[in-house]
Chain A
Amino acid sequence: MTRRPSLPTLALLLLAGGCTPPGKPTPAGPSRPDEVTDFRTLYATNCAGCHGADGNLGPGPPPNDGLFLRIVADAELLKVITDGRPGTPMPAFDHGKGGPLTTRQVKIIAEGLKPTWGKPDPSGDPPGYALAPGGDAGRGMAVFARACAGCHGDRGQGGGSVDGRPVGAVNGPAFLALSSDQVLRRYIITGRPDLGMPDYAGTAGRPADFEPLDARDVADLTALLASWRTAPAGK
């Protein structure tokens, strides 16, 4: 009787030897989400939903904004991503606060924002980012008339237009209830360049002799918007 290796034996030998059949899995497959450490990937999976694919043109305040990144402190970035902003749609991301990311990942994102989108442009003298207490809403009304009313209406009810699109109200209690004072102050300073709202020094929609807003103007405007949260303008 001649002995030839049977077909299955042959196949097994092939499998055991160097040849790799297509079915053999490779460990590259599913990686654990908490092992991702690349800023771009982390941003795209966790932040793009609200802050836009490239850090702007999302519903949330754009992190891709040179002025914002210039005035905001590193500690504040880390804090807001770790803890979120309670009462607003900005959630906490740290595991310890019930979020989906590890402390290390939060740090990678916080530290990646400025290198990615920051601009080396120290021109002008913008007001600081941190909230300043003691704003005067009454005086804010006068600043508003000068700096905002052209687009947002004399009482913030909306009505102006930018590029032919109507500009919305900023005096609505629901809008204000979901916005922190901090983000309102930020918008007053940085505007929303991606949507056509000018920053503290911009002149779009403003009188020809417009002077850049100073720290006091910004504090007073913030106080004014905050006051509309509970007592809507004009009522």
Chain B
Amino acid sequence: MRRIVRAVGGWFDSRLKVRESVMPMLEHPIPAGAAGPKGWWYVFGSASITLLLVQIATGIGLALVYVPSTDQAYASLEYLNYRQPLGWFLRSVHYWSGSGMVVMVAVHMTQVFLHGAYKYPRELTWLFGVFLLLLTLGMAFTGQVLRWDADAYWGVGVGAAMAGRVPVIGPAIVELLIGGQTIGAATLSRFFALHVFVLPGLLLALVGGHLWLVLSKGISEPPEPGQPVDPKTYDAKYHELLKTGKPFLGDAMSKDALFSSLVVIAVVVIAALAGPKGPHGLPDPVLTGANPRPDWPFLWLFGLLSLCPPGLETFVMLVFPGLLVVGLLLVPFISNHGERAPSRRPVAVMAVTVAATTLAVLSYAGATAPWSPVMEAWSKDPVPVEMVRRSGPLELQGAAVFQNKDCRNCHALDGVGGRRGPDLTDVGTRLTHNQLIDQVSNGTPGGGNMPAYGKKVNPAEMEALAAFLGSLRPPGQPPARVAAP
């Protein structure tokens, strides 16, 4: 039996030359330091690739059932969730492994950054890495859209709004991205093509390039304080180092394999425990009472958006992410020589700490931000009984108008209702009659957070609204007065 296998193997190998070309790659020497205990720092890149393979395998499985059409996408996911045996598990693994991939890529980049491994001669490897990060995020974003639920619909909406702010060519990009003026059938087809053909193709090509660079430039040695990189002498030094190097196929390879297995097991366990994500609610504006949120890799961006004042939105939506990417791309050019050890690079350590904290805080803000209006509050949340009791006929009409015009969807009364705008329980103590009318007519100046109701509210409705809002004061508290000049 063994002999036959060998013979067949040999027949193929004498033609494919796998052993001749691949074995040397596997056996190429790596610095001895990277094969010791410090080698555990080097496992995150291969774990990312392992998860990518999981994504490809589960992704193919999903593509067999998923229907990329607006009227069937949602139903096909429900079919996977409830009817297809283990269909839910396939979806779950794909989601969690994708999340894991984002994590691994980020951790890998952080490690490379902290260890200064991007310095001479590995600048290009870093650049490939930055694009791999972007592509991974691109996969996460397009994948979330394929769920075609309320989250997806809304994610595309914000994405399009972002792209639309690009000067001059903005509208053209939007049209290209969503396939027309509005989010619809063409949008889903485009994102499907992106997620299944375009981005994975690019991703695999770049992974190939990235690996090629890793092989040809060699794995960086673990950083030692006091051994700065000097582009003039580095190559010779590294060559010298490899003389005592260890083959990759051995200790390093086993570490990679072990860690990758652990990561896959973790993904499988989480997938079984936590289950697939969504789909949450149909993407029909009339039907959703949902509170859409983007998937976690983008929460920070939405946290940022929800915190920023309207005037800064263009900057935050467009310029800021752009600057981040440019910053990452510039890293190896700003410092491609000098110390590599983190203990000698306080600025680098600070940068990582600050970035990680900022991302965590913004993600938290994004997860908790009362970002979107509560769609049903207008008809569902009763006007607090106390307010009704102390109202006269005009105020009662104002309260009904308040509900009727969807104000409640953004504004809570007594803590109940939407939280997009401030709770108006005591607004009568803050704003005078004229200020109230001004706020309702003009909304937030410059558009944005609160729509202008000037044209949607007739004079009688406005008078009733202002009377109702003006009466919203704790008992005995006088109405607001115009502040003395």
Could you tell me which A residues sit within 8 Å of B by CB distance?
7-8, 11-12, 15-16, 21-27, 30, 32-34, 44-50, 52-53, 57-60, 88-91, 100, 158, 165-170, 172-175, 177-179, 195
Contact = CB atoms under 8 A, between A and B. Distances in A.
Nearest to B290: A30
Contact of A46 (B82, B282, B380): B380
A173 B403 contact: no
B382 A58 contact: yes
Contacts of B378: 49
Contact of A49 (B264, B377, B461, B467): B377
A172 B391 CA distance: 14
Contacts of B251: none
Contacts, number: 145
A195 B272 CA distance: 55
B174 interface: no
Interface stretch (B86-94, B177-185, B315-323, B426-434): B86-94
A231 to B, nearest CB: 15
Nearest to B384: A57
B462 to A, nearest CB: 8
Contacts of B459: 174
B271 A167 contact: no
A22 B287 contact: no
Tell me what chain B mostly uses at the interface: helix, strand, loop, or mixed. Answer: helix
Contact of B389 (A26, A46, A57): A57
Which 8 A-B pairs give the minimum distances between C-beta atoms? A168-B392, A23-B275, A59-B399, A89-B400, A177-B460, A174-B463, A89-B404, A21-B272
Contact of A23 (B272, B385, B400): B272
A175 B464 contact: yes
A48 B379 contact: yes
Contacts of B282: 32
Tell me what chain A mostly uses at the interface: helix, strand, loop, or mixed. Answer: loop
Contacts of B400: 50, 59-60, 88-90, 178
A25 B92 CA distance: 10
B381 A48 contact: yes
A50 B404 contact: yes
B57 interface: no
A52 B385 contact: yes
B391 A53 contact: no
10 contacts: A21-B275, A22-B272, A22-B273, A25-B275, A49-B380, A50-B399, A59-B398, A172-B393, A174-B460, A178-B400
Contacts of A16: 85-86
A24 B88 contact: yes
Contacts of B385: 52, 57
Contact of A91 (B289, B404, B461): B404
Contact of A169 (B376, B388, B392): B392
Contacts of B392: 158, 166-169
A22 B88 CA distance: 12
Interface string B267-283: 01001111110001110
A165 B395 CA distance: 14
Given A48-B382, A49-B383, A59 B273 contact: no
B404 A58 contact: no
B364 to A, nearest CB: 24
Contacts of B391: 59, 168
Interface string B388-415: 1111111111111101100010000000
Nearest to B395: A168
